[in-house]
Amino acid sequence: MKLARDTWLTFQYEAGQLSRRPLAIAIALLQPATYLLIFTPLLKSVLHVSSYSGAFRIYVPSLFCWMGLFSGLFAGVTLLAAMREGVIARFRVTPLSRVGLLLGRELTYVLLIGFQAVVMSVLALAFGLRVPPANFLLALILLAMMVLVGVSISFALALLVPNETAIVNLTNGLAQPLALLAGVLIPLSVAPLWVRDVALGDPFAWAANGMRTIFAGHIGAQVVWEAGVILAGLSVIAVVLSSRLFAREIA
Amino acid sequence: MKLARDTWLTFQYEAGQLVHNPVSVAVSLLQPITYLLFFTPFLKSVMGASSYGDAYRIYVPSLFVAMGLYSGLFAGFALLAAIRQGVITRFRVTPLSRVGLLLGTELMWVVLVGFQAVIVTVVAFIFGMRLPLISLLLALLLLAMMVLIGVSLSYFLALFVPNQSLLGNLINAVATPIGLLAGILIPLSVAPLWLRDVALWNPFAWAANGMRAIFGGHAGAQVVWEGGVILAGLAAMAVVASSRLFTREIS
């Protein structure tokens, strides 16, 4: 109960901080929007999709995975900045639970990325994407779990390696191969067999497959549930481990 | 004469800093190598390349353009860090010419990215790409001009927007559409006609076409000279404009 309340309090504070910087939120939308508008036509040609609607159905789920994965990259850097500026130290003297402090921050990222995903979907909708609301909600749930995994890993890295340049390089070095192997640019379905075999070890590849199946309209397909179970398990492990580490390092 | 000497002195200093930090040089290689290893197989499938040698002949020139373009991203950050740490201030009290200070640093970036390009080529060579030495030298020449443009542009932005996180987003917002419209992920040759029309206004698209022609074995093709002339003109303009701004803002 106290944990839920502390999480909510932290979330309110962080979300409030975020909403006071609408320019930063808008600028963060530029990169995914650029990919959505310029990369989709290229993908449409190269995959021989007949309509833009079909092309967006292939690329939007990839973009969701991309955003989920790389959100982590910024999260760790932001945590480091908050530690350096003494924000975390000031929270430490309050009776707030340490885990609540971490979970509230993670929820803020879930909200932020969820918002970006909605904006991207609306943009794609204007260019012909059609997806039933239930499928879209399910996709957002998968995305939320991906963000939890990404942010938790990034927080853990930031606590273990408190150096900004090192953390950016490390996260990039981890996220790029995971993302490429998940087929966030060109779908895995057209990749050579050996790449698909390697990708079996990449949980985000399972997530991307599930996500793409949802957008294709097969909400009950086995791959969707597989993705959901893998992500749920991973996000529980990641959140528990990172909050333990956070409680130990910060308290 | 004095300018050349000052440029050389600054270059020596900056290159020395780089040599003392081999880990960061190695880490900067991670991202291009990741794309080289994990993106080329995807491209091979969708572009219908018959061998990995052919696939690398398509992708390595794209990667060169990406490296030339994005090198700017890091250059602006490094300049901001140097200003914040007082490195630039300490140089100001020396009789070094301001333009030499800028040119020396830009040359250091040219050498660094050139080194990365050579490593990328060696890795691609191991996986089957074959290229005459003279073509590689010509490609490196085009790359050097791209780096000059990218770094100048980035310094320009860094001097105008001396805020790290805003600068990162801004440079991304500039570089991403330029990069995608130059076909650094999927070549423009397969793009829809309207996208190719838009790309006619993108100098880096011309550079990418020239680069790809060089790797395709047509080093004497018209598109190579067009790319070279466009880049040379732009590089001269960018260097002059950024050194003027630098002289005004720094001294």
pLDDT in tens, A129-152: 888 999 999 999 999 999 999 999
Whether B186 sits inside 8 A of A42 (CB atoms) is yes
pLDDT at A73: 67
The C-alpha atoms of residue A84 and residue B225 are separated, in whole angstroms, by 51
Whether B180 sits inside 8 A of A194 (CB atoms) is no
Asked if A63 and A32 count as a contact pair (C-beta separation under 8 A), the reply is yes
What is the distance of C-alpha B37 from the center of its chain? 20
Q: Is residue A251 over pLDDT 70?
A: no
pLDDT at B59: 93
Task: Tell me the two tokens of residue A113.
Answer: 């990325």
Length of chain A: 251
- By CA distance, what is B81's nearest residue in A? A165
pLDDT at A167: 81
**Model pTM score:** 0.88
Q: Which residue has the higher pLDDT, B27 or A197?
A: A197
> Is B105 a member of any domain?
yes
Q: Return the number of other C-beta atoms located less than 10 Å from residue A122's C-beta.
A: 10
Q: Return the number of other C-beta atoms located less than 10 Å from residue B4's C-beta.
A: 11
pLDDT at A241: 92
Q: Is residue A171 over pLDDT 70?
A: yes
Domain containing residue B152 = 50-250
Sign of CA dihedral A142, A144, A147, A148: negative
What is the distance of C-alpha A40 from the center of its chain? 20
pLDDT in tens, A3-35: 889 899 989 998 898 888 888 888 888 889 999
Lowest-confidence region among A72-76, A89-93, A120-124, B48-52: A72-76
Interface confidence (ipTM) of the complex = 0.85
Whether B185 sits inside 8 A of A39 (CB atoms) is yes
Q: Is residue B73 over pLDDT 70?
A: no
CA-based nearest distance A238→chain B, Å: 25
Which residue, A169, A232, A187, is CA-closest to B43?
A187
Residue A36 is classified by DSSP as: I
Whether A195 sits inside 8 A of B41 (CB atoms) is yes
How does residue B249 score in pLDDT terms, banded at 50, 70 and 90? confident
- Share the mean pLDDT of chain A: 89
Asked if B210 and B223 count as a contact pair (C-beta separation under 8 A), the reply is yes
Chains A, B: CB contacts under 8 A, how many? 97
Partner A contacted by B77 (CB < 8 A): no
- Identify residue A132 by its one-letter amino acid code: P
CA-based nearest distance B75→chain A, Å: 14
Q: Is residue B170 over pLDDT 90?
A: no
pLDDT in tens, A199-247: 999 999 999 999 999 999 888 889 999 999 999 999 999 999 998 998 8
> Is B231 a member of any domain?
yes
Chain B residues near residue A45 by CB distance under 8 angstroms:
186, 190-192
Q: Which of residues 170-209 of B touch A (CB under 8 A)?
A: 170, 172-173, 176-177, 180-181, 183, 185-186, 190-192, 194-195
> Is B91 a member of any domain?
yes
- Identify residue B207 by its one-letter amino acid code: A
Q: Is residue B251 over pLDDT 80?
A: no
The C-alpha atoms of residue B147 and residue B238 are separated, in whole angstroms, by 11
Task: Tell me the two tokens of residue A40.
Answer: 């989709």
CA-based nearest distance A74→chain B, Å: 10
- pLDDT average, residue stretch B108-132: 92
Instruction: Give the CA radius of gyration of chain B.
Output: 18
Instruction: Give the CA radius of gyration of chain A.
Output: 18
> Is B239 a member of any domain?
yes
Chain A residues near residue B191 by CB distance under 8 angstroms:
41-42, 45
Whether B46 sits inside 8 A of A185 (CB atoms) is no
Max distance between CA atoms of chain B, in angstroms, equals 59
What is the distance of C-alpha B171 from the center of its chain? 13
Q: Domain count for chain A, please give it.
A: 1
> Is B5 a member of any domain?
no
Whether A185 sits inside 8 A of B44 (CB atoms) is no
Q: Is residue B142 over pLDDT 90?
A: yes
Which residue among B172, B186, B190 places its CB closest to the CB of A31? B172
Q: Domain count for chain B, please give it.
A: 1
Task: Work out the angle between the directed axes of helices B98-126 and B222-250 (0-180°, nearest 10).
Answer: 140
pLDDT in tens, B5-40: 988 998 999 889 888 888 888 888 888 999 999 999
pLDDT at A28: 83
> Is B34 a member of any domain?
no
Asked if A102 and A155 count as a contact pair (C-beta separation under 8 A), the reply is yes
> Is B96 a member of any domain?
yes
Partner A contacted by B165 (CB < 8 A): yes
Residue B166, helix vs strand vs coil: helix
Q: Is residue A64 over pLDDT 90?
A: yes
> Is B11 a member of any domain?
no
- By CA distance, what is B165's nearest residue in A? A24
pLDDT in tens, B231-241: 999 999 999 99
CA-based nearest distance B107→chain A, Å: 23
- Identify residue A222 by its one-letter amino acid code: Q
To the nearest 10°, report the CA torsion of B10, B11, B17, B20.
Answer: -140
Whether A177 sits inside 8 A of B38 (CB atoms) is yes
Distances (CA, A) of B39 to A34, A115, A211, B43: 20, 29, 21, 6
Distances (CA, A) of B32 to A43, A204, B153, B203: 21, 21, 21, 22
pLDDT in tens, B190-201: 888 999 999 999
Domain containing residue A201 = 2-250
